Amino acid sequence: MITKVFVELKIENNTAIITIDNPPVNALSNQIVLELEQAIEAVEQNTELQSLIITGAGTKAFVGGADIKQFLTMTPESCYETVKTGQRVFERVSNLEIPVIAAIEGFALGGGCELALACDIRIAGEKAKFGLPEVGLGLIPGYGGSQRLPRILGSGKAYELIFSGDIIDASEAYRIGLVNNLVPNGEALGHAQAFVSKIQSKAPLAIKAAKKAIKQGIALPLDEAFELEARVVSDLCSTEDQKEGARAFLAKEKPKFQGK
């Protein structure tokens, strides 16, 4: 287990769990963003890991947003550097080969919502709240939110949420597709761990390949995306796991995948 001042990384059953712990609302400071990057780097280097869960300590907030005090003294130059750092770290989250699941309780606002958007799957407790309220501070989302939100929800809903700065509850977030699963309050982490167990029952190389095909393909013209898909599938046909999956299916047995 690696423990930082505000960010904890622990490993359980080939799953990394990153917990942001900065009471009272787990606000993102520059220090926390850099600690998060250190944790992500450790995840990148651990080839045994099959999934990552990101969560916030307690049930009051996943991440309640940025540390607003830092904006009082920012210059355009320091603001640019801060934004580029946040974008870099959140993109490292998004670019991990393994699935990344956000387990969200309480507030996921501003940078917290943007961190959730950088994850592949979002599981939220029923009392969670989501929003990008930056326009009320004279800003816009700067850690990727203005770009990821329209890719997830479409430009119309992204305009609505960013222009208004509205905070929506978990049921509305689930209705519009911002959240994948809505669970009882306090149970987001447990449900994320159960989902991870389901993922880890599948072929790990195939899971990584599926993420690659989706993430890279969505930015390509359809004909190029089909070519990417064909190459990814053909590469998997050379793996031992693919042969084991077919063998076990025909034998009506549970496959024993080795990640090879």
Catalytic residues: 114, 134
- DSSP string of the chain? -EE-SSEEEEEETTEEEEEE--TTTT-B-HHHHHHHHHHHHHHHH-TT--EEEEEESSSSEEE--B-GGGGGG--HHHHHHHHHHHHHHHHHHHT-SS-EEEEE-SEEETHHHHHHHHSSEEEEETT-EEE--GGGGT----SSHHHHHHHHH-HHHHHHHHHH--EEEHHHHHHTTS-SEEE-TT-HHHHHHHHHHHHHTS-HHHHHHHHHHHHHHTTS-HHHHHHHHHHHHHHHTTSHHHHHHHHHHHTT--------
